[in-house]
Amino acid sequence: MRWKRTIQLLDVHAEGEIGRVAIGGVPKIPGETIAAQLHWLNTDPKGDELRRFLCLEPRGAPIGSVNLLLPARHPEADAAFIILQPDQAHASSGSNSICVTTALLESGIVEMQEPETTVTLETAAGLVKATATCRDGRCEKVRLTMVPSFVHELDVAIDTPHWGRIKADLCYGGIFYALVDVDQIGLKIEKANASGLVQAGMILKELINRDIKVVHPEIPAISGVAYVMFRDTEADGTVRTCTTMWPGRADRSPCGTGNSANLATLHARGKAKVGDVFTSKSIIGSQFEVGLQAVTEVAGRPAVIPTITGRGFTFGLTQVALDPFDPHPLGFALTDVWGPSAGDI
């Protein structure tokens, strides 16, 4: 076989959300920093080509992410990574950080120490400290100390053609989120409502990004609302979440960066303090433990340091290849599986 390109992927999921990890064959990504590499992936045709190759059909699928393992630039980091998804490259993700940590330890790229191994991950959003509980050669769970999360603006009014005026909190948890109380769209966060939730999320994301510009005050490469996360609070205080992602799907995990952003709103409203820990539950019922470790500032804004704890599971090993005669080197997406916006690809 005379393949033009091969990339080896370790298949991992974190509480149901797939985060494949590219452990071999990753090409050199230009840029002096991870943020600069993120920018290149999102703006250069060659970067776009790599993302499409890995994330679109026939080699990819609408669900999940591909994490590019990169050489660390920060002296304290053990490894760096950038998240590729069908829409673009992203700066940070809690579930993908758990997947990457699990992959690094269970593959032996980073030596596993029992009963606990600390791995420092470098992302475009900053350093994420992963503390893994390990036993019998397995990574049992991972506790992430996330990057500082902050509120951009609370209770932003959005006029919609479907639900009238609704309110959203625009917040940063490693990427920017619009956080919306789900009762405003007349739905509950249940598996049966996944289609309706993601359709609403895609509509709201487009409306928000059309009218409101958000840019990280210290990392210009991180801009725009990446996801709309619907939320609800159960009687016992559990936060139920559904993060909606292009091209129209629900995050299977409770969402680490989304819960980090939501924690910033709880702190801003006086509903969470340092030391508090709560459970977040996804649309499929999987759980993260969310904690408020400390408070800090980002460019003069109040911010919080969240912790996210969850489990990663390996489920396969894949080698993705490109036949030099393949007529679809850039991949494709159809509206039957990928949703209406796939027609724009």
- C-alpha 290/C-alpha 335 separation (Å) is 36
Q: State residue 269's pLDDT score.
A: 98
- What is the Rg, in whole angstroms, of the alpha carbon atoms belonging to the chain? 19
- Residue type for 192, please? A
Question: Residue 64: helix, strand or coil by DSSP?
Answer: coil
- Residue 177 pLDDT more than 90? yes
| pLDDT range class, residue 259, cuts 50, 70, 90 | very high
Mention every residue, 6+ apart, whose C-beta is less than 8 A from residue 108: none
> For domain 5-145+313-344, which architecture applies?
Roll (3.10)
Q: The pTM is what? A: 0.96
**Which of these is catalytic: 65, 92, 93, 149?**
93
Q: State residue 1's pLDDT score.
A: 74
Identify whether the C-beta of residue 318 lies closer than 8 Å to the C-beta of residue 310. no
| pLDDT range class, residue 5, cuts 50, 70, 90 | very high
CATH numeric code, 149-309: 3.10.310.10
- C-alpha 200/C-alpha 61 separation (Å) is 21
- C-alpha 67/C-alpha 22 separation (Å) is 6
Arithmetic mean of pLDDT, 129-157? 98
- Residue type for 92, please? S
Q: State residue 337's pLDDT score.
A: 87
Annotation says 149 is catalytic: no
Phi and psi, residue 203, nearest 5°: -65, -45
Identify whether the C-beta of residue 241 lies closer than 8 Å to the C-beta of residue 189. yes
**Domain definitions of the chain by residue range:** 5-145+313-344, 149-309
Residues making up the annotated binding site for substrate are 85, 94-95, 251, 256-257
User: How many of the other CB atoms lie within 10 Å of CB of 141?
Assistant: 16
What CA–CA distances, in Å, run from 326 to 49, 62, 84, 133, 344? 14, 21, 22, 43, 22
Which value, to the nearest 10 degrees, does the dihedral of the CA atoms of residues 150, 156, 161, 164 take? 130
b (16+ CB within 10 A) / e for 252-275 = bbbbbbbbbbbbbbbbbeeebeee
Chain centroid, CA 81 distance in Å? 12
- C-alpha 335/C-alpha 344 separation (Å) is 10
- C-alpha 341/C-alpha 244 separation (Å) is 14
Arithmetic mean of pLDDT, 36-52? 96
pLDDT 10s digits, 84-101: 999 999 999 999 999 999
Q: At what angle do helices 45-55 and 34-43 cross, to 10 degrees?
A: 80
- C-alpha 291/C-alpha 146 separation (Å) is 10
Mention every residue, 6+ apart, whose C-beta is less than 8 A from residue 55: 65, 66, 84, 85, 86, 331
Which value, to the nearest 10 degrees, does the dihedral of the CA atoms of residues 92, 53, 337, 225 take? 30
pLDDT 10s digits, 262-316: 999 999 999 999 999 999 999 999 999 999 999 999 999 999 999 999 999 999 9
Annotation says 255 is catalytic: yes
**Which of these is catalytic: 92, 97, 255, 260?**
255
Identify whether the C-beta of residue 94 lies closer than 8 Å to the C-beta of residue 288. yes
* Percent of the chain's residues with pLDDT above 90: 94
Residue 305 parent element (H or E): strand 301-310
User: How many of the other CB atoms lie within 10 Å of CB of 276?
Assistant: 15
Task: Decide if 5-145+313-344 and 149-309 have a common fold.
Answer: yes
